[in-house]
Structure 1
Amino acid sequence: MMSLQANLSKVQVEQVIERILALRQISRADQHLLMSALLSQNSLSDIDESQIKRVFDALQKGMLRVVD
């Protein structure tokens, strides 16, 4: 059961990151999901963690638009 939740979370994180980078925008819900995933870190690979950090770096640099 726990590994199923971890796999679903991983797929969800990957999909969110792909959408954010493709559209160059992030919603508050996306941001919350990524922050929660990053803080939990028990199911994130190094690649996932790196991609999340890439999104937050782009956000800090103004390369992503925040939408509600």
Structure 2
Amino acid sequence: MTETTTTGRLLTMDQAAERLSMSTRWVRHMIRLGQIPAVHLGRSVRLYDEDVDAFARRHRRAVDQ
């Protein structure tokens, strides 16, 4: 298992969903697909804020104005 050092803040599922303007169900789906890394602490799931931000940056597109 590979470990990385992360110093970011841990977000709850609700916080991550709000940050991405999506539902918690959609965030959970992205975690299952391996699109967003998550930390499982017992029955709780947490996401590093930097992973959520990186996901958003990878999927950013220019919007026609």
**TM-score band, normalised by the shorter chain?**
under 0.3
TM-score, normalised via structure 2 length: 0.25
TM-score, normalised via structure 1 length: 0.25
Bigger-Rg structure (1/2): 2
Determine which structure has the larger helix proportion and give its number. 1
